[in-house]
Amino acid sequence: MPLPTLKDQFAALIAAPSVSCTQPALDQSNRHVIDLLAGWLGDLGFKCDIQQVTAGKFNLLASRGSGPGGLVLAGHSDTVPYDEQLWASDPLKLTEVDGRWVGLGSCDMKGFFALVIEAVIPLLEHDFKQPLLILATCDEESSMSGARALAEAGQPLGRAAVIGEPTGLRPIRMHKGILMDRIDILGRSGHSSDPSLGRSALEAMHAVMAELMGLRQQWQQTYRNPQFTVPTPTLNFGCIHGGDNPNRICGQCALEFDLRPLPGMDVEQLRAAIREKLVPVAERHDVRIDYAPLFPEVPPFEQAADAELVQVAERLTGHRAEAVAFGTEAPYLQQLGCQTIVLGPGDIACAHQPGEYLEMSRIEPTVRLLRDLIRHYCLH
């Protein structure tokens, strides 16, 4: 059966639902996307290994050639949820509008796999001196369980890895980490007319927030990286819940916050500093304080500016490597010994948005760039 055209591959990938979401009612399997890619790549002579990560969630590692070096072209097979009523077209149907291919996953980032296949086809007549690996992961948009599973397995991949997230074809060599954590305070409720009858969880949380703001100020004075638009670490109090009535002493209070550390900041040291501040607050207010992650952190990522991959990407794109605020799977691939960058054709500004699209003018430059990377790492 002949391989579908580039546009037909795009359309098939977009038509295969693969939403990843922390809300079970919206979460979907990515198996259909993985099977499509494995079928096409298998027909092209790639060895395809489908690995189950959790129930209904799969990674695909397709390889051609063998050896210790080579190139990994990586991306995630899932998408964010979507509000169909906010789209001008069917989000699961590829639509061409004003020089753009519109559809869920066109930019972020199932469409990248079709461009990889387009790039590799004319090179298959050559002998691959080093392996080319094509990696499609699951659940990047929620828990990053696919990339985490690879890192935990510890199997070396290649010498260099390029993740095709939307960067406007500009190489990215660093991004901040992401911690989303929760603090729960258990006090004792009582009648508001007599403070001795209870222990206010809300007042204790006020003290906790003051301590966290102090830590934030300390970290922002200590750590700075001018390559980022926001050059310091950030800490955002995103959500707080506590109490139930004005005439009751608040017995329980919960705070959820988001911490974005810079490369070079150690996640466990940050959490240890927070725990150290919580102990005296708990003692002073005579309350119980629990502190835990909402989900495992995404570590900060940095690839050295003088790394071969960074220099090759800068030469091929004509752009200096930059830093971005959003998190990716890059630190997990880096843990497996790959020099890693993030470089893809989409624009982050239209990712996670109704009407997500890929500019058609980016297709040929992306295919040419991927071809040049494959030649450099696999054919020479």
Number of domain units in the chain: 2
Q: Are residues 66 and 207 in the same domain?
A: no
Is 234 a member of any domain? yes
| DSSP 8-state symbol, 176 | -
**Residue 193, pLDDT score:** 97
Three-state SS at 153:
helix
Quickly tell me which residue has 């996670």 as its tokens.
352
The predicted structure's pLDDT at residue 68: 84
Same domain, yes or no, for 44 and 97?
Answer: yes
Same-domain status, 50 and 81: yes
The count of residues in the chain is 380
Range(s) of the domain holding residue 56: 6-175+300-379
CB count in 10 Å sphere of residue 40: 20
What number of other Cβ atoms are within 10 A of residue 323's Cβ? 19
Q: Comparing C-alpha atoms, which of 132, 122, 35, 136 is closest to residue 79?
A: 136
Q: What are the residue numbers of the active site?
A: 78, 140
For residue 197, what is the DSSP state? G
pLDDT tens-digit series, residues 125-152: 999 999 999 999 999 998 899 999 999 9
Q: What is the pLDDT of residue 23?
A: 85
Contacts by 365-372, CB closer than 8 A, 24 or more apart: 365/169, 366/115, 366/119, 366/169, 367/115, 367/118, 367/119, 368/119, 369/169, 369/316, 369/317, 369/343, 370/73, 370/115, 370/116, 370/119, 370/120, 371/119, 371/120, 371/122, 371/123, 372/316
Is residue 233 assigned to a domain? Answer: yes
Write out the two tokens for 196. Answer: 């001795």
pLDDT at 249: 97
Question: Same structural domain for residues 160 and 306?
Answer: yes
Claim to verify: residue 111 and residue 54 sit in the same structural domain: yes
- Max Cα separation, the chain? 84
Residue 165 near residue 171, CB atoms below 8 Å: no
pLDDT reported for residue 259: 97
Asked, for residue 187, whether it belongs to a domain, the answer is yes
Q: What percent of the chain has pLDDT over 90?
A: 94
Phi then psi for residue 57, to 5 deg, are: -125, 130
Which tokens hold the place of 268?
């466990």
277, exposed or middle or buried, with CB in 10 Å at 0-12, 13-18, 19+? Answer: middle
State the CATH number of the domain containing residue 68: 3.40.630.10
The distance of Cα 374 from the centroid of its chain, to the nearest Å, equals: 24
- Do 75 and 223 lie in one domain? The reply is no
Domain final residue, candidates 293, 327, 358: 293
Domain contains 113: yes
Average pLDDT, the chain: 96
**Amino acid, res. 41:** L
Residues 87 and 219 in one domain: no
Last residue of one domain, picked from the residues 261, 278, 293: 293
For residues 165 and 188, state if they share a domain.
no
**Residues 304, 285 share a domain:** no
Terminal-residue alpha carbon distance, the chain: 31
What is the rounded (10 degree) CA torsion for 295, 146, 152, 183? 0
**Residue pair 105/79 in contact by the 8 Å Cβ criterion:** yes
Residue 1 belongs to some domain of the structure = no
Q: DSSP string spanning 256-283? A: EEEEEPPTT--HHHHHHHHHHHHHHHHH
**Is residue 199 within 8 Å of residue 281, measured between CB atoms?**
no
Buried b (16+ CB within 10 A) or exposed e, 182-218: ebbbbbbbbeeeeeeebbbbbbbbebbeebbeebbee
Domain shared by 138 and 40, yes or no:
yes
Look at residue 186 and tell me if it is in a domain: yes
> Which portions of the chain are predicted below pLDDT 50?
none
For the full predicted model, state whether its pTM sits above 0.85: yes
Q: Which residues neighbour 266 within 8 Å (Cβ) at sequence distance 6 or greater? A: none
Instruction: Tell me: do 30 and 48 sit in the same domain.
Output: yes
Which of 242, 275, 293 marks a domain boundary?
A: 293
Whichever domain contains 232, its CATH number is 3.30.70.360
Tell me how far the alpha carbon of residue 307 is from its chain's centroid: 22
Q: Are the C-beta atoms of 271 and 215 separated by less than 8 Å?
A: no
Report the alpha-carbon distance of residue 358 to residue 190 in Å, rounded: 58
Q: Are residues 106 and 187 in the same domain?
A: no
Burial of 11 (0-12, 13-18, 19+ CB in 10 A): buried
Q: Order across the sheet with 95-97: list the strands.
A: 95-97, 100-102, 357-359
Strand partners, 248: 191
Per residue in 61-113, pLDDT tens?
Answer: 999 998 889 999 999 999 999 999 999 999 999 999 999 999 999 999 999 99
